[in-house]
Structures are given as structure tokens and as C-alpha cells.
Structure 1
Amino acid sequence: MKTLFLSSLAFVLMLITNPVNAQETINTQNNYVVLTKKVDQLKPIILTARSLKEEDGENFGDYQAIICGQDITLLTDKEKMKDFLTEAKEAGVKLIACGFSMKKFGVDAGEIPAEFEVVENGILYNFQLQKKGYYSLGL
């Protein structure tokens, strides 16, 4: 009888505490990362961020756009980048430049807009974000 009582008590406690623990571990934020080799893709990337922000509501988390490849040289074109920078800021898009691509194509970090964060390797950075649960898209 004593064993039955203790077993029942343990079972009830398990039912009560388990859902609470499960809720604490669920990440309710939707985080996104897009890796692109084309600067002109920033326009649809930013438009997508705006749509997802509206759709996700309070569950919208972080949204990052990584530029890699030869188009990294276009980041130094202030006129071309002006609208992208304004729109990205308004949409809450964090802009990332691939340091590996910058070295390969001779782009000095001082020549790109201050709004860009430079990471050592954009592809590796993308994988690291995916391991953290980010939804990822490569263009």
C-alpha cells in the first residue's frame, strides 16, 4: 500500500512539473539569417524581413543578412548602398560583411558603411547561427 501511494505521488508530481519545464525550454523567437552573393538581393531580403516581422508579431526575433563573394566590392559604393542601409535599419535587418570575401577581393573594412558588422568568415557564421536555431536561406 505504501509503495502504491509513493508511486502515485511520484506520477502526479511528474505530470505537474513536466509541462512547466517544457515551456521554459521552448524558444518563442523566430530568428532568421540570409546569406547572399548579390548585393542587389538586399532589396527582397529586406522586404521579406518586413513581412516576417508583421507575420511573426512579438515572436519576431533577429534577422541578419550576410554578404559574401565578389559583390562585396559594391559595399564601398556609397550611392548604391544608401537606400539599402536606410531600409535595413527601418526593417531591423542586421547587415554582415564576410571578412574572407573582403580579403579575397581587396576591400578595406574602412571603406564599407559603418552599419555593416564584419565577421571573419560569413559561411561559418551562417552555420553557427543555424546551430543556434536560426532559419537560414542561401541566395
Structure 2
Amino acid sequence: MKHSITYITVLLVLILGTAQLKAQTSTSDQNDYVVLSKNIKQLKPILMTATSLAEEDGENYGEFQVVFCGKTVADIRDNTDFQALLKQAAQQQMKVYVCGLSLQAFEVNPEELPQHLEVVENGIFYGFQLKKQGFISLTI
């Protein structure tokens, strides 16, 4: 009898502890993604990856966001290839951002940026905020 109570108690602790752990790690049924990149040439493979993840995740596919930081922001102006990829990203409901701190550091006027591109004040901080919200993140 004494051993039975011990076994039942251990079993309940394991079951309840595992359920609580699962609730803490899973914030939603959706898989949300964010990529922080220092190279605008990565947008094409990022789009391909988003397409593959959407197919794989099915109904569990959530948001996909990309944030460009660093010197690469200076290459965005008048880049027709990048603008075409931005249009494709918009069609895939992908949000593409550029780091405001990087724009300032490399003296890029936000008004010269193409349509479908939004500015966040601090790209790295923004990425951490999304990570805290449960986004799966990758830095390339």
C-alpha cells in the first residue's frame, strides 16, 4: 500500500509537471518565423524556405518576417532585383523590415526605400521581441 501511494504520487507529478512544461513552451498552435539577415541577397532563398515551411506546416503555418540589418541596407536603393523579390514576399504575406539604426549608420534615407519594406527602429531588439512571443528565429 505504501509503495502504491508513492508510485501514484510520482506518476501524478510527472504527468502534471509535463503538462505545465508543455504549456510554457507552446504559445500558440501556429509556427511563426523570423529571419534576421545582414545580406539582402538572402531574400530569394528565404522566400523559397518560407514556401517550403508553409507546405510542411499546413494549417499550423503562421507569420513569416524578415529583418535586414547592417551595411546591406545601403544596397536596397534602386535595386530592381530586390524590389521584385519584395513584391513576391508581399504576395506570400511575408513582412519584410529594415533596421532603422542601420539606415542611420549608413546614411540611407527611409523615403528612398522601395514599397513593401517597413522600418523598425532597432532590428535586433525587434527580433528579440518576436522571439519572446514564440517566433522561431534564425540569423544569417
Q: 1:89 to 1:127 in 2, by over 3 A?
A: same
Q: Which residue of 1 aligns with 2:15?
A: none
For residues 101 and 83 of structure 2, what CA distance do their matches in structure 1 show?
24
In structure 1, the residue matched to 2:29 is: 28
Task: Return the alpha-carbon distance in structure 2 between the equivalents of residues 138 and 95 of structure 1.
Answer: 14
**SS of equivalent residue, structure 1 residue 61:** strand
Q: Which residue in the other structure is 1:104 paired with? A: 105
Cα displacement string for residues 78-105 of structure 1 (whole angstroms, at most 9, x for unaligned residues) = 4132221122122221100100000000
Q: Where do 5+ consecutive residues of structure 1 fail to align?
A: 1-17
d(CA) in 2 for partners of 1:126, 1:104: 19
Where structure 2 has 5 or more consecutive residues not aligned to the other structure, the ranges are 1-18
- Provide the aligned length of Structure 1 versus Structure 2: 120
For 2:80, the equivalent position in structure 1 comes to: 79
The one-character-per-residue Cα deviations of 1:12-45 (angstroms, maximum 9, x if unpaired) are xxxxxx9xxx6xx851011000000000000111
Judge which range, 47-56 or 79-88, deviates more: 79-88
Alpha carbons 2:27, 2:134 under 8 Å: kept? no
For 1:107 and 1:32, the matched residues in 2 are separated by 27
What is the Cα-based RMSD across aligned positions, in Å?
A: 2.1
TM-score by length of 1: 0.79
Inter-partner Cα distance in structure 1 for 2:87 and 2:115: 12
Percent identity for Structure 1 against Structure 2: 45
The structure having more radius of gyration, on CA atoms, is: 1
Residues 97-106 or 113-122, more deviating: 113-122
TM-score (norm 2): 0.79
- Where 2:114 maps in the other structure, the secondary structure is coil
Residue aligned with 2:107, SS: coil
